[in-house]
Amino acid sequence: MPFRPDLRWSDVTPEALFLNRRQIIAGAAAAMVATPALARNKWSVDQTPNTFEEITSYNNFYEFGWGKEDPVTYAGALTTDPWSIEIGGMVDKPGRYDLADVTKGQTIEERIYRFRCVEAWSMVVPWHGFELAGLLNRVGVQPGAKFVAFETLLRPEEMPGQRDSSFPWPYVEGLRLDEAMHPLTILATGLYDQPMPNQNGAPIRLVVPWKYGFKSIKSIVKITLTDKMPPTTWNILQPQEYGFYANVNPEVDHPRWSQASERPIGGGLFGGRVDTLMFNGYGEHVAALYTGQDLAADY
């Protein structure tokens, strides 16, 4: 059973290490105020997370280059404060919301999620974030809305990859409304006890754990509710390889490689590949969203 309702990463991390991190980060005196206890939740998996180092030094963030180490090398230059998100389309309260306003009233939880890239590597990440549904309910989704479109910041001055004009910047992604409203779908604002590192999509990014990683769009500046399936970056670039849905599915191979197994990052010298799970192991929660759909056709 992958799910343990009562587990937090602090439960699976040696306590001394955990306390040590807390003290370093928050300072003993300020700890009570600076790091309020996170709400417990039933969505975390019973797996040891990857290290902070692994999660923050092996990344895909093409705005900073094509190499796995380009994001950690170049993303430090990104200005993430001030930050705002323009929320519009079929909503009752459209507008430009400051980051503080976006998170206002939302419960920030720790979510230890599996993360499976379409390239067949995987990690386990202790995100901090809140349910996207909380924000969507706050801005008021209008009855005709069927999809949610997301857009990443366009700032070539600070994002050297965006100077490559052969790529259709800005990076865009989308979800069906029922996927967006699912409690597993979060807007993440941090990982471990840190604000979101730039290379992981500061200051706020999407995380949809049952889909391939490319759906989890980083550094979001725009959210639009719409009645049409929105264009998505990888589908624009290679439609026969990357569909809109991108649900993790070991039975539907990428045209150029198998999706039946994956390589856990940090597995070490003897760490072999492991089987990929349907919906990345979240099937009991999300399979019902796709009843009657042909997942080979809707890849």
Residues contacting 126, CB < 8 A, separation 6+:
8, 9, 49, 110, 111, 112, 191, 192
Q: Does 62 bind ligand MTE (CB under 6 A)?
A: yes
> By CB under 6 A, how many residues form the interface with ligand MTE?
15
Closest CA to 232 of 221, 219, 218, 242: 242
Least Å distance between CB 82 and ligand MTE? Answer: 19
Closest to ligand MTE by CB, 90 vs 184, is 184
Closest to ligand MTE by CB, 60 vs 235, is 60
Q: Does 172 bind ligand MTE (CB under 6 A)?
A: no
Q: Does 151 bind ligand MTE (CB under 6 A)?
A: no
Of 11-19, 42-50, 96-104, 217-225, which part binds ligand MTE (CB under 6 A)? 217-225
Question: Which of 127, 171, 279, 282 touches ligand MTE by CB under 6 A?
Answer: 171
Residues contacting 97, CB < 8 A, separation 6+:
84, 85, 86, 87
| Residues 86-145 interacting with ligand MTE (rule: CB under 6 A) | 117
Least Å distance between CB 195 and ligand MTE? Answer: 14
Least Å distance between CB 1 and ligand MTE? Answer: 25
Closest to ligand MTE by CB, 90 vs 220, is 220
CA dist 166 and 169 (Å) reads 9
Q: Does 61 bind ligand MTE (CB under 6 A)?
A: yes
Q: How far is CA 297 from the centre of its chain?
A: 24
> What SS3 class is residue 122?
strand
> Are the C-beta atoms of 119 and 248 separated by less than 8 Å?
no
Least Å distance between CB 248 and ligand MTE? Answer: 12
> Are the C-beta atoms of 151 and 169 separated by less than 8 Å?
no
> Are the C-beta atoms of 173 and 185 separated by less than 8 Å?
no
CA distances in angstroms from 73 to 49, 198, 264, listed in the order given? 23, 10, 23
Q: Does 217 bind ligand MTE (CB under 6 A)?
A: yes
Say how many C-beta atoms besides its own lie within 10 A of residue 8's C-beta.
19
Least Å distance between CB 171 and ligand MTE? Answer: 4
Q: Does 63 bind ligand MTE (CB under 6 A)?
A: yes
| Residues 183-212 interacting with ligand MTE (rule: CB under 6 A) | 200
Peptide bond into 156 cis (omega under 30): no
Q: Does 44 bind ligand MTE (CB under 6 A)?
A: no
CA dist 22 and 13 (Å) reads 12
Closest CA to 116 of 211, 253, 233, 241: 211
Of 11-19, 54-62, 236-244, 289-297, which part binds ligand MTE (CB under 6 A)? 54-62
| Residues 270-289 interacting with ligand MTE (rule: CB under 6 A) | none
Least Å distance between CB 60 and ligand MTE? Answer: 4
DSSP 257: B
Least Å distance between CB 232 and ligand MTE? Answer: 11
CA dist 277 and 251 (Å) reads 9
Least Å distance between CB 27 and ligand MTE? Answer: 27
Binding site for ligand MTE (CB under 6 A): 59-63, 117, 152, 171, 200, 213-214, 216-219
